[in-house]
Structure 1
Amino acid sequence: DLKQWSQSRLQKYFGRMGVYYYGIVRGEDERQVHNNRTRKSIGAETTFNTDLVATEEMLARLQLLAEKVVGVLQKKKLTAKTMTLKVKFDDFQQVTRSHTEHHVFCSIDAILRRLPQLLDKTEAGSRRVRLLGVSVSNLKALDGQDPTPEQITLL
């Protein structure tokens, strides 16, 4: 195991690469990360301190989440075709319900029109809800192209 070796021993054995190996086995790497993945979806979710029981409260919380999602869509100049509702109940059972529109959308109104219907297709209202989430997918740039890869920030 190279982590057991001193830097001088690694240098003696591997030459200049010994310094590199010494850092790498300790999780030190200054190389820039390059991401070639294209974003597939944009979403927001929240877990509640107190489980929700009223659908009106759920819809109010879903509106806030949808506003966050639309904000990212607009900032990134993207549109979507599919929206997904995520519901986690108090027993940790999780369900999702999705709908794909015929045309792309990027407005809050398009999402808010569909969310009540998606929520009605779950047991929300008759079961306690601990988490709600909204996401959009089938993303396209406003110019109709596929989104370009982007660098993801960790912090």
Structure 2
Amino acid sequence: MPDSSLPVRKIIHIDMDAFFASVEQRDNPELRGRPVAVGGGHRGVVAAASYEARKFGVRSALPSVTAKRRCPDLVFVKPRFDAYKQVSQQIRAIFAEFTELIEPLSLDEAYLDVTVDRHRLGSARAIGEEIRRRIRSETQLTASAGVSYCKFVAKLASDQNKPDGLCVITPAQASAFIASLPVARFHGIGPKTAERLNQLGIHTGADLQGLSREELEGRFGSSGEWYWRICRGIDDRPVRAHRTAKSISAERTFDEDLSDPHALLTELERVAGLAWARIERSSATGRTVTLKVKYADFQLCTRSRSFAEPIADARSFTAAGRELLTALLPTAKGIRLLGLGIHNLIEVDNQAPRQLALAI
């Protein structure tokens, strides 16, 4: 349970519903009601999928070939990041009317600290509902919101009633709420860690709560402390209004170790596509491309290349990654993981946006 001796924050996590795909459906009536994927292309990956497409198992980061196989009627559209950024700026302007404490995570989601009730709406729930109403009215898009006392629980809550929903979790409700969820839903626990936890018989928050701090640290090292805290709803991280990312990347662990150069370069293109989608969402760019390689024996290797000017597009980003990987090929031992990202970030879209106590 959270520390009752500390003042209770009021945190809202806002997450736009299928943001990229929803913008496309809004702007093109012919796409409404149809399964839509943003991205794709030869050897490409899905950057976003509409809810109609998600019913067929189409998700972001899925190879476009697989997505089309799962949903033959899937409509691919090219991403229009300028349009998404413009809508994101509209949404952030709405946020700024309610609080200065805004921590954007990407173009389509952010944490808001609304502990101070700027408009005297009476509760964080009321603020969340008003923000959602304003977003719908001004952008014709829907957003889901999670309202709670900390960032971890608020983020879990925002996913609870998607799409177009709101979920409030009070401090008294947090432990039972977390206990009911699969660990794969927990922010900070990725697919591989979730799989490892499942293999240990840990499937839900309740299972995780049953382990001591010592047991978790013994099995997961420094991450064990974090797992012990979050499964108990303990998260004292503040909403950081001027959060600056150091890097943006994506990586993929293969089911089988790869050594064939063609296969590795093909996988690199997929990783690059996913990473570039994240870079575009973040409204940032950078001058340094970094390749991460983990071999079958778990040896980790990184290679970087810096440029005089910021990386301008996905093609340049992917080409830099191919060059870095090609320098390591051929390899005598298999590769189990590839990652690609941008470092030395430059913020393209600076957020502005500050804020007694109200009920959740």
Partner of 2:302: 96
Report the 3-state secondary structure (helix = DSSP H, G, I; strand = E; otherwise coil) of the residue aligned with 1:137: strand
Partner AA of 2:4 in structure 1: Y
Partner AA of 1:136 in structure 2: I
Give the Cα–Cα distance (whole angstroms) in 2 for the partners of residues 30 and 52 of structure 1.
39
Q: Structure 1 residue 120: deviation in Å?
A: 2.8
> Any stretches of 5+ residues in structure 2 without a counterpart?
7-170, 172-228, 353-360
Give the Cα–Cα distance (whole angstroms) in 1 for the partners of residues 320 and 348 of structure 2.
21
Q: Structure 1 residue 124: deviation in Å?
A: 5.0
Partner of 1:6: none
> Any stretches of 5+ residues in structure 1 without a counterpart?
1-18, 150-155
2:294·2:337 contact (CA, 8 Å) conserved in 1? yes
2:268·2:322 contact (CA, 8 Å) conserved in 1? no
Alignment of 1:1-155 (within 5 A): 20-21=4-5, 27=232, 33-35=238-240, 36-122=242-328, 125-142=331-348
Partner AA of 2:320 in structure 1: R
Structure 1, 27-36 or 72-81: larger mean CA deviation: 27-36
Give the Cα–Cα distance (whole angstroms) in 2 for the partners of residues 82 and 37 of structure 1.
20
| Rg larger for | 1
Give the Cα–Cα distance (whole angstroms) in 2 for the partners of residues 98 and 32 of structure 1.
31
Q: Size of the alignment, in residue pairs?
A: 128
Report the 3-state secondary structure (helix = DSSP H, G, I; strand = E; otherwise coil) of the residue aligned with 1:131: strand
Partner of 2:81: none
Show CA shifts across 1:27-61 (max 9, x none).
55687732354101001111111000111111111
Q: 1:37 to 1:75 in 2, by over 3 A?
A: closer
Paired-residue identity, %:
29
2:261·2:329 contact (CA, 8 Å) conserved in 1? no
Show CA shifts across 1:78-120 (max 9, x none).
1110010001111110100000011001411111222222113
Partner of 2:51: none
Q: Larger relative CO (CA 8 A, sep 6+): 1 or 2?
A: 1
1:88·1:131 contact (CA, 8 Å) conserved in 2? yes
Q: 1:132 to 1:31 in 2, by over 3 A?
A: closer
1:38·1:148 contact (CA, 8 Å) conserved in 2? no
1:87·1:95 contact (CA, 8 Å) conserved in 2? yes
Give the structure-1-normalised TM-score. 0.69
Structure with higher strand content: 1
**Aligned alpha-carbon RMSD (Å):** 3.1
Structure 1, 120-129 or 75-84: larger mean CA deviation: 120-129
Partner AA of 1:95 in structure 2: C
1:85·1:118 contact (CA, 8 Å) conserved in 2? yes
Give the structure-2-normalised TM-score. 0.32
